[in-house]
């Protein structure tokens, strides 16, 4: 049986006993009651190792803030071999790691990322508390009325009427990410659907005004490619939006199985990023910068023309300004149109021209229009701007 493994270093920070409970509760979720759990720490030359959080904190003298701790959980399968395991070892800044192994890849990825996210949240909380302590040292005086209000607030927070949630139950929240542009094939869509089928029996594929239940329906479409496709898992509420303007992955409840599927789908998408993504982003940034420069020069020319009452220069400046804005908008629309591409047919037999003709057309038009615009700007600057600046300079 194949074993999957996820491992990474984690941020080191001292942890409160209450925060340690949150981490333990998340780790043991998904392990059977017969699983082996070990929670250990060292302080004041004393070593503690227990199988539950309750017995762990029952020790005398255990500090409220732990500088090191280790949580090890593992479960055996019916054959007596290890089925899944998790090791969180937080010892020092250079020896802190998280390791998750198991035969179920979805569980391994889900548990690994959930625990890692919770550790990051606790680390951010610890840093904010440290900054608050430093701020209190600088400003130690607090009004008595504020202390009174603070005490009253604590009482109301712990009152039974305000605690509607079940104690110790982790609140499941949604989780989502925007991802880079992708260029997928029908096989990639099939792989994504198979990942969703591991945790859900009902999958919906939507494109345009139609909804399909199988990738076989996509094979019958006459289109060579799509730029708008949505894949949903209704059972676990996982949605992937492959749209002209974005690639968006979302889950309604951040459970171990949902997060595992989420991470597996994200890996598929990351592998299918086009080689020209970096160039795509650079071209987009350059087009914005150049458009801004040209618009600024056009506006400057317009001010000079108005001041000199040169109607010819006013018309030229307005033409340059409007043309630049139109070109920037067109380039923007072209880039958005190609954010998500799903190839439905085998394009290997197609010629280079058929595969890239739209990009070639766009580049030719951009080069010609940009060249004419640059020539017009150069002529205008040489004819009007330079003489005007020379007249402003002292002779």
Least confident window among 44-58, 178-192, 270-284, 291-305: 270-284
Least confident window among 167-181, 267-281, 311-325: 267-281
Helix (H, G, I), strand (E, B) or coil at 297: helix
User: What is the Cα–Cα distance from 68 to 154, expressed in whole angstroms?
Assistant: 30
| pLDDT exceeds 70 at position 393 | no
β-partners of residue 393 are none
152-182 pLDDT, tens per residue?
333 333 333 333 334 455 567 899 999 888 8
5-15 pLDDT, tens per residue?
999 999 999 99
pLDDT of residue 155: 34
Helix (H, G, I), strand (E, B) or coil at 91: coil
Start-end of H helices in 229-310: 256-271, 277-308
pLDDT of residue 319: 80
290, 377 Cβ separation under 8 angstroms: no
In the predicted model, what is the mean pLDDT of the chain?
78
* Residue 71: partners with Cβ closer than 8 Å, 6 or more residues away: 23, 24, 27, 37, 38, 39, 86, 87, 88
**pLDDT mean over 139-147:** 45
pTM: 0.67
| pLDDT exceeds 70 at position 211 | yes
pLDDT of residue 344: 81
pLDDT of residue 340: 73
**pLDDT mean over 307-322:** 77
Least confident window among 29-43, 131-145, 361-375: 131-145
User: What is the Cα–Cα distance from 298 to 358, expressed in whole angstroms?
Assistant: 30
**pLDDT mean over 228-246:** 85
As a whole-number percent, the residues of the chain with pLDDT over 90 amount to 38
pLDDT of residue 250: 93
Helix (H, G, I), strand (E, B) or coil at 13: coil
185-208 pLDDT, tens per residue?
999 999 999 999 988 888 999 998
| pLDDT exceeds 60 at position 336 | no
User: What is the Cα–Cα distance from 259 to 112, expressed in whole angstroms?
Assistant: 9
User: What is the Cα–Cα distance from 313 to 301, expressed in whole angstroms?
Assistant: 7
Task: Quote the tokens at residue 278.
Answer: 């970096």
Task: Quote the tokens at residue 134.
Answer: 């430093």
DSSP annotation string for 133-190: HHHHHHS----HHHHHHHHHHHHHHHSTTT--SPTTPPPP--EEEEE--EEEEHHHHH
CA neighbor of 192 nearest in space, from 181, 177, 203, 206: 203
Least confident window among 112-126, 138-152, 201-215, 354-368: 138-152
Q: Position of tokens 């890239």?
A: 356
User: What is the Cα–Cα distance from 86 to 75, expressed in whole angstroms?
Assistant: 9
Tell me the CA distances in angstroms from 290 to 167, 338, 361, one per residue in order. 58, 21, 21
pLDDT of residue 353: 55
Q: In what order do the strands lie in the sheet with 246-251?
A: 175-179, 246-251, 238-243, 229-233, 203-207, 210-212
**pLDDT mean over 242-256:** 89
| pLDDT exceeds 60 at position 283 | no
Least confident window among 34-43, 100-109, 129-138: 129-138
> pLDDT-based confidence at 69, cuts 50/70/90?
very high
| pLDDT exceeds 70 at position 305 | yes
β-partners of residue 48 are 41
**Angle of the 105-138 helix axis to the 17-28 helix axis, nearest 10:** 170
100, 111 Cβ separation under 8 angstroms: yes
pLDDT of residue 37: 94
| pLDDT exceeds 70 at position 243 | yes
Could you tell me which residue, 122 or 93, shows the higher pLDDT? 122
* Residue 208: partners with Cβ closer than 8 Å, 6 or more residues away: 228
| pLDDT exceeds 60 at position 111 | yes
β-partners of residue 205 are 212, 231
* Residue 373: partners with Cβ closer than 8 Å, 6 or more residues away: 294, 320, 323, 324, 327
User: What is the Cα–Cα distance from 203 to 235, expressed in whole angstroms?
Assistant: 8
User: What is the Cα–Cα distance from 210 to 235, expressed in whole angstroms?
Assistant: 20
CA neighbor of 4 nearest in space, from 133, 111, 102, 150: 102
pLDDT of residue 171: 66
pLDDT of residue 16: 93
* Residue 345: partners with Cβ closer than 8 Å, 6 or more residues away: 224, 225
pLDDT of residue 339: 65
pLDDT of residue 220: 85
pLDDT of residue 26: 94
Q: For the purposes of burial, counting CB atoms within 10 Å of the CB of 84, is it exposed (0-12), middle (13-18) or buried (19 or more)?
A: buried
Could you tell me which residue, 335 or 101, shows the higher pLDDT? 101
Q: Is 84 left (phi over 0), alpha (psi -120 to 50) or beta?
A: beta
DSSP 208: T
205, 212 Cβ separation under 8 angstroms: yes
pLDDT of residue 371: 66
**pLDDT mean over 352-364:** 58
């Amino acid at each position: 049986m194949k074993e999957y493994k996820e491992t990474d270093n984690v941020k080191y920070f001292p942890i409160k006993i209450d925060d340690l409970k949150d981490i333990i509760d998340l780790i043991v979720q998904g392990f059977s009651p017969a699983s082996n759990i070990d929670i250990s720490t060292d302080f004041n030359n004393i070593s503690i190792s227990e199988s539950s959080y309750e017995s762990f904190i029952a020790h005398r003298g255990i500090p409220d803030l732990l500088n090191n701790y280790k949580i090890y959980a593992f479960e055996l399968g019916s054959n007596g071999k290890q089925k899944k395991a998790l090791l969180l070892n937080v010892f020092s800044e250079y020896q802190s790691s998280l390791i998750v192994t198991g035969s179920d890849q979805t569980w391994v990825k889900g548990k690994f990322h959930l625990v890692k996210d919770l550790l990051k949240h606790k680390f951010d909380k610890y840093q904010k508390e440290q900054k608050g302590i430093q701020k209190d040292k600088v400003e130690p005086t607090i009004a008595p009325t504020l202390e009174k209000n603070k005490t009253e607030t604590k009482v109301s927070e712990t009152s039974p009427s305000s605690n509607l949630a079940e104690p110790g139950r982790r609140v499941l929240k949604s989780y989502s990410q925007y991802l880079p542009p992708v260029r997928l094939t029908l096989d990639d869509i099939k792989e994504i659907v198979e990942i969703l089928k591991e945790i859900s029996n009902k999958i919906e594929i939507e494109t345009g005004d139609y909804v399909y239940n199988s990738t076989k329906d996509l094979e019958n479409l006459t289109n060579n490619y799509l730029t708008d496709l949505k894949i949903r898992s209704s059972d676990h509420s996982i949605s992937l939006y492959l749209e002209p303007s974005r690639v968006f992955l979302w889950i309604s409840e951040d459970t171990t199985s949902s997060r595992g599927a989420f991470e597996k789908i994200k890996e598929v998408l990351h592998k299918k990023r086009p080689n020209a993504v970096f160039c795509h982003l650079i071209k987009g940034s350059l087009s914005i910068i150049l458009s801004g420069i040209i618009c600024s020069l056009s506006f400057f020319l317009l001010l000079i023309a108005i001041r000199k009452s040169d109607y010819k220069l006013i018309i030229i400046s307005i033409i340059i300004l409007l043309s630049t804005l139109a070109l920037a908008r067109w380039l923007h629309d072209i880039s958005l149109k190609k954010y998500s591409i799903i190839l439905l047919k085998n394009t290997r037999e197609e010629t280079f021209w058929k595969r890239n003709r739209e990009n070639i057309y766009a580049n030719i038009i951009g080069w010609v229009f940009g060249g004419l615009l640059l020539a017009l700007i150069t002529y205008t600057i040489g004819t009007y701007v330079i003489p005007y600046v020379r007249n402003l300079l002292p002779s």
